[in-house]
Amino acid sequence: MGAKQATRPHARWGYLSGKVICMHYRPLGKTGFKVSEIGMGCNRLGEPNMPDEHWVGLVQQAIELGVNLFDTSESYGWGRSEEMLGRAIGNRADVLIATKVSRIRETNQHDFSAKRIIAQAEGSLRRLRRDCIDIYQLHSPSLEEMKRFDWLDGMARLKQEGKIRLVGVSINDAASGQWLIEQGLADVLQVAYNMLEPRVGEAVFPVAERHGVGIMVRMPMAQGILTGKFRPGEAVPEGHRAHLAGKHMAELIQRAEAFKPLAQEWGISLGQIALRYAISAPGVSAAIPGARSVEQLAMNVEASNGVGLSPAELQRIASILS
């Protein structure tokens, strides 16, 4: 599997609505895999407001446009997201699936014991219709939980049985990421990082790059705030992911205003600037924005350019952040 992925070309051309799109690929740390620098986060995949065929078709369209990295979790729709990926992708070997063992649905508590890690992996494999999970991740554990539970034993057994390839963790803080890297416990880390909240990434990425740990950036558009669709003082629709920012949402929307002139000046959308910012950091393998429509998918994949933002563009953003 690793050898097959390593032969994937540096870039791949695709077409959407008469527009040429070029997806670029990067090493996933030292794992031997190459991933599309724009992947697809699947948190909303399978929502009941659209028929299953819409979601299956969206994933297949993403693959046609060169996306080969899809990130999901057992808790996304409590299996629905994994089921849609299973229908759209199944056991094909040219696409990487990353999923996560999450909290207990009934109690909202974490149990990262080896026994539960193994049991939940079996459920994910069935829903994904795969023989092997490419990247199996802990979903937002605390550092204390990672030190307390015997999750490593579960991951080791799953690897030995050929049911997972890579061990990953979706982290919430820099201390967790640095500990995992320095202890050599993870092949891949998932890190929240964007123009509005870069601190955790800035602390973790240099360490990850030195140790060859692959990095997936989640929330590159700050839960939709960096799409530029919201204005300070205006109501955000109920149910939008921006509300996950909680009491900080209004402040983040206000701060995002400062970046809007760049979109007009540079001739790309604010969301694409945000995605290119995410893949500009050294050591980052891929950003994993979500998409609920072909239009959103197209906007995401068009951000791929192989380099991210130029040093001058990054300096402009840094001057706005300061």
Between 292 and 236, residue with greater pLDDT: 292
Q: What's the pLDDT band for 77 if we cut at 50, 70, 90?
A: very high
Q: Is residue 76 annotated as a catalytic residue, yes or no?
A: yes
- For residues 165-190, give the mean pLDDT: 98
pLDDT of residue 16: 73
Q: Please count the other Cβ atoms lying within 10 Å of the Cβ belonging to residue 197.
A: 16
pLDDT of residue 3: 35
CA distance 53 to 151: 36
- Would you say 204 and 174 are in contact if contact means Cβ atoms under 8 Å apart? yes
| pTM confidence score | 0.93
Q: What is the pLDDT of residues 91-136, one digit of tens each?
A: 999 999 999 999 999 999 999 999 999 999 999 999 999 999 999 9
Rounded alpha-carbon distances, angstroms, from residue 159 to 118, 132, 137: 10, 9, 13
Q: What is the pLDDT of residues 276-289, one digit of tens each?
A: 999 999 999 999 99
The overall average pLDDT reported for the chain is 93
Whether the pLDDT of residue 143 is over 60: the answer is yes
pLDDT of residue 67: 97
Of the listed ranges 3-7, 160-164, 255-259, 299-303, the least confidently predicted one is 3-7
pLDDT of residue 238: 81
Helical spans, DSSP H, in the chain = 2-6, 52-64, 80-88, 114-128, 143-148, 151-160, 174-183, 199-211, 249-256, 260-266, 270-278, 294-301, 311-321
CA distance 258 to 252: 11
- For residues 190-206, give the mean pLDDT: 97
Q: What's the pLDDT band for 54 if we cut at 50, 70, 90?
A: very high
Q: What is the pLDDT of residues 219-275, one digit of tens each?
A: 999 988 999 888 887 777 887 777 777 777 888 899 999 999 999 999 999 999 999
Whether the pLDDT of residue 302 is over 80: the answer is yes
The CATH number of the domain where 14 resides is what?
3.20.20.100
Q: For a pLDDT cut of 90, what percent of the chain falls above it?
A: 83
Q: State the catalytic residue, choosing from 15, 25, 76, 193.
A: 76
Q: Residue 189 sits in which domain range?
A: 2-321
pLDDT of residue 5: 41
- Would you say 157 and 167 are in contact if contact means Cβ atoms under 8 Å apart? no
Rounded alpha-carbon distances, angstroms, from residue 92 to 19, 95, 264: 27, 6, 40
- Domain total in the chain: 1
- For residues 61-69, give the mean pLDDT: 96
pLDDT of residue 7: 38
pLDDT of residue 1: 36
- Cβ partners under 8 Å of residue 301, min gap 6: 14, 21, 23, 38, 62, 65, 66, 67
pLDDT of residue 233: 76
pLDDT of residue 65: 95
Whether the pLDDT of residue 61 is over 70: the answer is yes
- For residues 305-309, give the mean pLDDT: 94
- Cβ partners under 8 Å of residue 102, min gap 6: 73, 74, 75, 120, 139, 140
